[in-house]
Amino acid sequence: MQQFLDTTLGGLVLGAVYAAFALALCLIWRSTRIVNFAQAAMAMVTTYIALSLINADVPYWVAFMAAIAAGFGLGAVIERVIIRPVEGKAELNAVILTLGLFMVLHGLTAITFGVQHRGFPAPVGTSAISVGDTSIGITPFGILTIVVVALVMAGLVVLFRFTDLGLRMRAAAFNGEVSRLLGVRVGRMLTLGWALAAAVGAVAGMLIAGGDLVNPAFMDPFVIYGFIAAVLGGLDSPLGSVIGGLILGLSLSYVTGYVGEHLAPLVALGILMVVLLVRPSGLFAAAAARRV
């Protein structure tokens, strides 16, 4: 029972991070129909920016905000400068570009910051909380992770459901030409979509790095896991991305806890295969009626 509780809590924390990452992929997919393979590398860059600030004695939360701002700027610049010229061309062009960007960002970070592992601080404790004599399998930082991801999600729901800006962004993503005819500045909305996604990615990067070691490759597993979570939930659905993230986090945590850590990546790929075979549009995709 104790082990079940521990692995479940651990899985929820892991799942929250996957969810945040899948959410970032989903935002870009919705706005520009591109799977952004550079997402993890972009988050890695912003995390390194935060680390440099923290090492220069900037308070943790200020560095956290700086990472989000850097992500926002990086996302906007990448969409405007790199992605925009290939928009409307074959979709593969943009995907290959994001793969190239992944490698460029990787290389530049290694040149700038070195490839060695560095410790990344956490704003709260990273050892398991104890109730009485028994320790339960969650850390204060784990709780913080869940809270932050929940806040990000709530913020996005409010933005897309209840604000005019969110309505414009959704419209621009779903039907660019009609949106332009209605006066929406579609290009600007797409840039904003990428900026927002990269900001969410930056948050995920900070939560993954906290209390752990970072090197330029530390986000790489998330290229795969975030993608699996997003596909699991349906790339189109923000809610699906979150649930997909949680399902993946819990599954991997149970596999790690009960079977063995080395099996986790295999199980993740197994899940991806089953989803693509059985329900390729994802568990929560809004059915095939969409593109009418």
Partner 1 sequence: MFAVEDLSAAYGPVKALNGVTFTAARGQVTAVLGANGAGKTTLLRTVSGLVRSTKGSVKLNDKDITRTATEKLTSYGLSHVPEGRGVIAELTVTENLRLGGLHRATGSEPMPVERVFELFPRLGERREATAHTLSGGERQMLVIGRALMARPTVLLLDEPSLGLAPRVVAQIFDLLRGLVQTEELTVVLVEQNARSALSIADHGVVLNLGKVVASAPAAELAADEQLRHAYLGF
Stated as kind and residue range, the H or E segment containing 214 is: strand 213-214
Q: Does 87 bind partner 1 (CB under 8 A)?
A: no
Taking the least distance from each CB to partner 1, the nearer of 131 and 289 is 289
Q: How many residues does the chain have?
A: 292
Shortest Cβ distance from residue 28 to partner 1 (Å)? 17
Shortest Cβ distance from residue 80 to partner 1 (Å)? 17
How far apart (Å, rounded) are the C-alpha atoms in residues 22 and 238?
8
Q: Tokens representing 25? A: 């992929």
Number of residues that bind partner 1 (CB under 8 A): 22
Q: Does 215 bind partner 1 (CB under 8 A)?
A: no
How far apart (Å, rounded) are the C-alpha atoms in residues 84 and 69?
21
| Percent of the chain as helix, strand, coil, to the nearest 5 | 75, 5, 25
Taking the least distance from each CB to partner 1, the nearer of 186 and 230 is 186
Q: Does 27 bind partner 1 (CB under 8 A)?
A: no
Q: Does 157 bind partner 1 (CB under 8 A)?
A: no
Shortest Cβ distance from residue 158 to partner 1 (Å)? 15
> Packing angle between helix 220-233 and helix 186-209, nearest 10 degrees?
120
Which residues sit opposite 118 in a β-bridge? 214
Could you tell me which stretch among 37-45, 172-180, 241-249, 263-271 binds partner 1 (CB under 8 A)? 172-180
Among 6, 180, 212, 267, binds partner 1 (CB under 8 A): 180
- List b or e across 244-259, with b for residues whose CB sees 16 or more CB atoms inside 10 angstroms: bbbbbbbbbbbbbbee
Q: Is the dihedral of CA 173, 174, 177, 182 positive or negative?
A: negative
Taking the least distance from each CB to partner 1, the nearer of 62 and 157 is 157
Strand 130-131 to 118-119 pairing: unpaired
How far apart (Å, rounded) are the C-alpha atoms in residues 250 and 189?
34
Could you tell me which stretch among 43-51, 60-68, 163-171, 224-232 binds partner 1 (CB under 8 A)? 163-171
Could you tell me which stretch among 81-89, 133-141, 165-173, 263-271 binds partner 1 (CB under 8 A)? 165-173
Say if CB 96 and CB 35 are below 8 A apart. Answer: no
Which residues sit opposite 135 in a β-bridge? 130
Which residues sit opposite 119 in a β-bridge? 213
Could you tell me which stretch among 3-11, 48-56, 177-185, 277-285 binds partner 1 (CB under 8 A)? 177-185
Shortest Cβ distance from residue 165 to partner 1 (Å)? 10
Q: Does 292 bind partner 1 (CB under 8 A)?
A: yes
Q: Tokens representing 147? A: 């809270």
Q: Does 89 bind partner 1 (CB under 8 A)?
A: no
Taking the least distance from each CB to partner 1, the nearer of 118 and 180 is 180
Shortest Cβ distance from residue 213 to partner 1 (Å)? 42
Taking the least distance from each CB to partner 1, the nearer of 262 and 291 is 291
- Interaction site with partner 1 (CB under 8 A): 164, 167-168, 170-171, 174-175, 177-186, 286, 289-292
